[in-house]
Amino acid sequence: MNEISSSQINLSPEEKRLLLAKLLREKASGEKSVYPLSYGQQALWFLYQSAKLSKAYNVAFPARICSKVDVSALRQAFQGLVNRYATLRTTFKVQNGKSVQEVQGYQEVYFEQIDASTLTWEQLKEKVVKTYEHPFDLQRGPVFKVHLFTSSQQDHILLLTLHHIVYDARSMGTLLDDAQVLYSDAKAGRVASLPPLKSQYADYVQWQTQMLAGSKGEQLWNYWRQQLAGELPVLNLPTDRPRPPLQSYQGASYTLKLTETLTKQLRKLLQTQGVTLYTLLLAAFQVLLYRYTGQEDILVGSPTGGRSQAEFDEIVGYFVNPVVLRASFSGNPTFKSFLSQVRRTVLDAINYQDYPFSLLVEQLQPNRDPSRSPLFQVLFNFLNPQRLGEVPGLLVPSETPLQASWGQLELESFELEQQEGQFDLTLETVEGKDALFGVFKYNTDLFDAVTINRMAGHFQTLLEGIVKDPEEQVSKLPLLTEAEQHQLLVEWNNTQTEYSQDKCIHQLFEAQVERTPDAIAVVFEDQHLTYRELNTRANQLAHYLQAMGVGPEVLVGICVERSLEMVVGLLGILKAGGAYVPLDPAYPQERLAWMIEDSKLSVLLTQQDQFLRLPDNCAKVLCLDSDWGKIAQHSENNPDSKVASDNLAYIIYTSGSTGKPKGVQIIHRAVVNFLKFMSQAPGLTSQDVLLAVTTISFDIAVLELYLPITVGAKVLLARREVALDATKLIQVLEQSGTTIMQATPATWRMLLTAGWQGSSTLKILCGGEALSLNLANQLLDRSTSVWNMYGPTETTIWSAVYRVEPGNTLIPIGQPIANTQIYIVDPGLYQKYDSLQLVPVGQPGELLIGGVGLARGYLNRHELTDQKFVLNPFSDEPGARLYRTGDLARYLPDGNIECLGRIDHQVKINGFRIELGEIETLLSQHPKVKEAVVMIREDIPGDKRLAAYVVCDQEPPPTTSELRRFLKDKLPNYMIPSAFMFLEAMPLTPNGKVNRRGLPAPEGLRPELETTYAMPQTEVEQRLAEAWQQTLQLEKVGIHDNFFELGGNSLLMMQIHSKLSTIIGQELSIVEMFQYPTIHSLREYLSQQQNGQLSSQPSDDRGQKRRNRLLARKRQS
């Protein structure tokens, strides 16, 4: 050793520090050690490689120092930490194809002092946040940084930042305690007084490797294999935006402070239940997730300390190991019994916590999706920083700054949001002295702040319900705040309106006859009837029918072609007091026979041409044309029928799940209320001409026939052939002076396809199916207004309406009409547990309708009536009912309702729940797409795929590549259809709705791409192409074809990924596959990696590879 010169003895403390650092560097320059990563580090290293610029795994300790700081001593203290803990001077790299960490023998601490004297408080906070968010370079280091922002001698912000790969919560307490001692020693000029460490992180890695290779490792694996057996559920939280194809780790947070009262109640409850606060809050959080998703099998991650061995307690490093906590809500348990289940699960998880999560994922091989974290997408954590010491306690959320003494320095808390966006959602519960906090950390690519704020309110309401009655079933625990309940139950259902509730449909018409007897009421081609003439004929028929025994509750069939006689027949039946049953002449005889038999018709009105085509029946038949001579001999006066507003007006048969149609019974009062509202919105006056195009077998014809003649307007009846012929229909529209027309989206599309230019005086009503944004905008450009109409037959035509506005980004169904209530409830809770629970704004649920428009029920189907028409728990009216529509919908923040499709159109593929209507809606927004239908197909048993059927209205039509790119910006990969079929028109049912059963199976042809086909050139390319063809079910694949444009998605890519090792003889990450989505680019990348040497030998099986890795690591350590 060199002798120390006299000049060196007289050095200042700072000069001595620099000299010592130099000597240590020289000594340690050749001292480096390399060892494997722990399993936990492997997972973080993989995440780092896939998102190197992410701040999601930056961890910080911020504090305000409110005293004078000896900066030199502080720097020396943190240098002492770097010297003491190997993890703080570690870098990471790939060596010989394996990920390793390299510990530097000496590394100078990253310490930067920033002059903040000229910054405002807001500017200073912004600078601290940006410094915290700066990404780490794990390959070059450092992994530990110290920043000191100095505003004055007595005012500083200290920011310690580390990458999570070398640090966990327990490490924070250790570092802060040691730094306090080292600062005091340095300031006093003393040698560091900390005792030497007995072990380092490398010792932990060696222990973990040996443990997993032994019997203990097998025991741990057996537990988790059993605990996570069967299909592993994917948590489908409702999101505000489509999920990106790759995790983004963009996050934010919201902090909820529970009241001191609720905190005390929770602490009291945990004592009576014999559980910890962690277990109680975890159980409540799992109930919240259950209520948000309706899923009875839920997986939640939760970090454990990972320090089951006492020798590692004081080591700084990443020991945390998340465990998967599985919760079952089967059987609708009480919260108390569910809490017992959670307690057992938690205790077991703690006992078996040493099995690494990343190894668990590798062993279980769940369906992988790059847009989500594996096994669980939601994390729960419980922290009590105060247990780690006074200084870590500064991290407890607080409305006012907290103070703590740190040796000779006075600290104050500094708020800094961190570690957000790692998962879809994280609830970090923090125990303070007098209150509990819930920090909701969320991925901002998925959720809006207002959604998470609302969720936090629901969590608090849930906790309040739990402490009030822990014996309550989880399905019935309160979720909504009082303000939300009032909004959903009262504000948005405040529809009470006066109407003529004692009147019948025909009486409204009779009143209009008195007002405008000589105005034209109905026109059919070159024939017409005035109001007086129509009333006279209907009266004559009514008297005749009464003589035949027709009266209240007597069913009369009517099977006629569209004509003046049809309108006379309908009004005549109503005036006689009877209820009509429309029988469409175009229906098959078998269907007509069923309807006639089921309804037990007493009388059947028809025409001579239809008479011989009718099936045999027992009804009395009356022909409105050939028998009119004897009908006309009856009185022209309005008959007295004794019919009341609660008597049947008509029965409409709709399709039934059994294959037999079911009759929906509608009373007069329901129609009268409907007509009153429709006359106001969308609105109809005596100056209007309504073109009626809908068959009377479809209930929306009620609006077309009765609304005009109750307000003095004119009905223009279109012949069936005209209604189905776009050219003829356009001609009628343009020549008749029509001012309003109602039709299904299919009919409006038909007109647009035929070149219809519209009319500036036409009011458009569109209903019967979902109105796409694309179609709505095209119609808006061709009319004075467009109205989206929604409602099932069982609630009397339309129950909600919405006027389309320019600039709409989606087309809602609007709000309930007069004297109608709409509720959106959790569908799963009702179907399974008979519990009607409202869902929050923005959350999908089943749409239920109440009010005066409800049908009486289904004819002769009492059991089905009881299933679909249920008691209304939200109403004070005795016997009030709700109709279960089976439609999936959600409330928008402005009170409008968005319909998301049928609940029975909700499908599940590989654990992912998919709403077909969402894909259809988005696909229909493409400017060249006129109509789109999406189906799930299983043309090969066990292999479910999404297929899209598209009708285009522009030439040239879009390529499949174009449509995929369009959807890719809006949907996750697994929701993009695998196949696109281009059709000239959709097959339709007789009512003008899309006939899904008539859609053809997709062809296995290579789709029309923008890339020219190029055949495989090498053996490897050929084998890759074969794997792609097999997975994508295509007859050929080109080497320049993009996997996703061929119909691939993230789930199918996982299938390809599992086959690659046998094809190329090496492991390849899923991220690399996303980066090289063509066979050619992938083959070139692999060639560069292996210098062109691709193995044709199959790789070892997965279990053997795991054993080999463990043994190799054991030898290395």
- CATH number of the domain that 878 lies in? 2.30.38.10
* pLDDT value, residue 1113: 38
Domain that holds residue 418: 205-477
By DSSP bridging, strand 785-790 and strand 579-582 are: unpaired
DSSP for 425-460, written as a single string: EEEEEEE-SS-EEEEEEEETTT--HHHHHHHHHHHH
Distance CA 1084, CA 1096 (A): 16
Tell me, yes or no, whether 1006 lies in a domain: no
Tell me, yes or no, whether 713 lies in a domain: yes
Q: Out of 202, 219, 241, pick the residue that ends a domain.
A: 202
Find the CATH number of the domain harbouring 212.
Answer: 3.30.559.30
H or E, element range at 776 = helix 773-780
Please, what are the averages of pLDDT over each run of 10 residues along the chain (1117 residues)? 49 65 55 89 86 86 96 96 96 88 95 97 96 95 97 97 93 93 93 91 95 96 96 90 80 93 96 95 98 94 92 93 96 96 97 94 82 92 78 81 90 87 91 89 94 96 98 94 95 96 98 98 97 98 97 97 97 98 86 90 93 82 95 96 96 73 95 97 97 93 98 96 90 96 89 92 93 92 97 96 93 97 87 80 94 97 94 93 93 94 67 68 86 81 77 86 80 75 82 76 67 83 85 83 74 65 66 79 78 38 39 38
Distance CA 1018, CA 379 (A): 46
Nearest to 889 by CA among 851, 849, 854, 924: 849
Q: Are residues 530 and 607 in the same domain?
A: yes
Nearest to 605 by CA among 620, 588, 584: 620
What the block records as the tokens of 973 is 């990969």
Nearest to 693 by CA among 723, 664, 730: 723
Q: Are residues 794 and 874 in the same domain?
A: no
Tell me, yes or no, whether 1009 lies in a domain: no
Q: Out of 870, 903, 936, pick the residue that ends a domain.
A: 903
What phi, psi does 355 have (nearest 5°)? -80, 120
User: Positive or negative, the Cα torsion across 549, 555, 556, 562?
Assistant: positive
Q: How far is CA 882 from CA 139, 190, 629, 869, 1114, in A?
A: 63, 80, 47, 5, 66
Q: Are residues 973 and 851 in the same domain?
A: no
Count of structural domains within the chain: 7
Long-range contact list for 20-24, CB < 8 A, 24+ apart? 21/79, 21/106, 21/108, 24/83, 24/106
Tell me, yes or no, whether 126 lies in a domain: yes
- The answer to whether 622 and 639 are in contact (CB under 8 A) is no
State the helix-helix crossing angle for 773-780 and 745-753, rounded to 10 degrees. 60
Q: Are residues 547 and 489 in the same domain?
A: no
Find the CATH number of the domain harbouring 983.
Answer: 3.30.300.30
pLDDT tens digits, one per residue of 1000-1039: 877 666 666 667 788 888 888 888 888 888 888 787 888 8
Tell me, yes or no, whether 673 lies in a domain: yes
Distance CA 777, CA 250 (A): 34
Tokens 């520090």: give the residue: 17
Tell me, yes or no, whether 1014 lies in a domain: no
What three-state secondary structure class fits 789?
strand
In the chain, the amino acid numbered 493 is: N
Q: Are residues 810 and 839 in the same domain?
A: no
Q: Are residues 297 and 420 in the same domain?
A: yes
Q: Are residues 570 and 440 in the same domain?
A: no
- The answer to whether 573 and 544 are in contact (CB under 8 A) is no
Residue 242 DSSP symbol: P
Q: Out of 202, 230, 257, pick the residue that ends a domain.
A: 202
C-alpha 258: how far from its chain's center? 28
Q: What is the pTM of this model?
A: 0.76
Q: How far apart are the first and last CA of the chain?
A: 33
Distance CA 784, CA 918 (A): 28
Q: Are residues 152 and 290 in the same domain?
A: no
CB-based contacts of 1019: which residues, under 8 Å, 6+ apart?
1096
CB atoms within 10 A of CB 33: 13
- The answer to whether 694 and 873 are in contact (CB under 8 A) is no
In the chain, the amino acid numbered 861 is: R
What phi, psi does 929 have (nearest 5°)? -95, 120
Q: Are residues 655 and 685 in the same domain?
A: yes
Tell me, yes or no, whether 1007 lies in a domain: no
Find the CATH number of the domain harbouring 75.
Answer: 3.30.559.10
Find the CATH number of the domain harbouring 746.
Answer: 3.40.50.12780
Q: Are residues 49 and 115 in the same domain?
A: yes
Tell me, yes or no, whether 1012 lies in a domain: no
User: Positive or negative, the Cα torsion across 1017, 1018, 1021, 1026?
Assistant: positive
Q: Are residues 217 and 276 in the same domain?
A: yes
What three-state secondary structure class fits 807?
coil
User: Residue 125 half-sphere exposure, CB side, CA atoms within 13 Å?
Assistant: 8
Q: Are residues 677 and 783 in the same domain?
A: yes
